[in-house]
Amino acid sequence: QIVVLNCEAAEGNNPASLVNRNSRLQASGEKSTLKLKVKKTGTTIAGVIFKDGVALGADTRATSGEVVADKNCSKTHYITPNIYCCGAGTAADTEKTTDMLRSNLALQILSMGRNPRLIMASRILQDFLFRHKGQISAMLLLGGVDCTGPHIFTVGMALSTKLHFDFTSIVGSGHLPALAVFEDRFKPNMTEDDAKLLVRDAISAGIMNDLGSGSNVDLCVIRKNGTECIRPFESSNYKCERQGKYKYPEGTTTIVKEQTINLDLVEETVQQMEVAQ
């Protein structure tokens, strides 16, 4: 039996051929390095450009599989005074990747004597992720204001970089509800207050419609003359309260068998603990 591991060249790089390729691999039982399972990142991260700057938003729930590992984690990372980054994916990968970017741009600031441009930060991230060929699980949303104005970049582990001129939400489990809010209510040249409310509502839509996103809403507003990080901008209104009593009366569980064993003391020793003088 011959198993074709790479048939894109023969059949074309289209979804139908890839589905057929995966079906043949599964039917053959061939153990290969191809991962056929889809992994979703439990995150809602969004950003919007308003008249004088950029507003970034993120939820605060960190998940480990089906378990909520942290209810109040920070997904907004400081890069430079004029650039901030929100990350989705594996927490360790996003943390170390943003640390690398921050240290590189700190050297650039010392060398040039001015704040760097966002395109520079985007290229550094793109080159770094390309060298690792998708092994680093980090989807990053760069936002900030430089000498050319406010910008938003998305850099993904699929080696893609895109410049957005209005709004965006990076690929996470809650990005579709957030994009729906943006597409319905976004207006060019919005005021800062309107942009804050729009990002808040977009993140809240992801929280309400996705199990992987939750808890509070964090905001980061980047202007030409300064930056403001609001954590939390809005706290969760959903408090978990017990609906019933979990203390059961004695005798609720039936005793099937009862046995009592008396233990005799055979030997008793006392050991004195050494105490430092």
Helix (H, G, I), strand (E, B) or coil at 217: strand
CB-based burial label for 120 (10 Å; 0-12, 13-18, 19+): middle
Helices (H), the chain: 8-11, 15-28, 91-112, 118-131, 175-185, 192-209
For residue 167, give both structure tokens: 């709004």
Question: Which residue of the set 43, 76, 97, 98 is catalytic?
Answer: 43
Of the candidates 91, 86, 102, the residue with the CA atom closest to the CA atom of residue 142: 86
Active site includes 168?
A: no
Q: Which position has the token pair 């930060």? A: 121
Are 190 and 178 in contact, with CB atoms under 8 Å apart?
no
Q: Is residue 11 within a helix (H) or strand (E), and if so which, with residue range?
A: helix 8-11
Spatial contact of 231 and 84, defined as CB atoms under 8 Å apart: no
Contacting residues for 149 by C-beta, under 8 A, at least 6 apart: none
3-state secondary structure of 56: strand
Question: Smallest Cα–Cα separation from 73: which of 58, 59, 60?
Answer: 60
In a 3-state reduction of DSSP, which class is residue 220? strand
Distances in Å between the alpha carbon of 227 and those of 68, 102, 156, 201, 248? 30, 16, 25, 21, 54
Dist CA 142 CA 72 (whole Å): 21
Active site residues: 43
